[in-house]
Structure 1
């Protein structure tokens, strides 16, 4: 991250472990699960819906898989952006946000534990205090732009291997049926 006090990922991990203990690595675990479940549910439902529209016979059709995957990823990313914003805040404990929620100098004088944003509810309140509803969608374009090619590629690869494996199994069964007729 910009202006990070750490030399790299290992330095950051070691410092975090020494200063805050192993629990610090799970600070936003509940938020991560809370974000991933709706993201994946919406992603899969949208993909399946778009496949029904674009590829109703469910043939192997790379272009329909790419388009459906990209649009499903984009929608899921956009809808779950508020959860991602809160997760990022919990992970980074951004200084200005901590200052806003804990009232500046009073927070600094009361000890390190009180200077953390703890839990999804507090993260939601902090984001809202800092920028209202628009703050929940900071970075939505970047998330959508990241997810579209990622999910398009993932679905294309999945559908390709599904096609290859099922086609091979189908041909093997046909050969077995012909051998049994002899």
Structure 2
């Protein structure tokens, strides 16, 4: 049996543990439990890496803002026109908004990665427990038994795996709502 590799290691482990259930499901023509796992596949480590890069970028913006502010202070104390001060305050505010947006986005990325990780691990544990509970019926089907009892148990287990994955995917709705603010520019440059 070929074991599928997923981005999330817990799902790869679950796929390996679901291999016999998958084989029985294939013989019976019921839902493929391993295919259901694809709907939850994710790479929290990649998301965390991206969040760290955004955070680093935000720190660079904060440093640039501090340098800009120091230059503005020098220019204003040197007798520059009032309009320069107003323009400088606007640009300084944009720097600040960009830095806050970067920090917020980075924090959101970490929260999303953590939640995806939690969901993938929880789903893996749940579906592995379901498969283990049905192992006798799965073995019977693989040995050629097509009695209503074992066929029903394997089919019900596959359906339970699909439901478990669907419930975890449904939990992602809250994360999607948190992403909504990222669809608009964080800072409107003037």
Task: Compute the TM-score of the two structures, normalised by the length of structure 1.
Answer: 0.30
Give the structure-2-normalised TM-score: 0.29
Larger Rg: 2
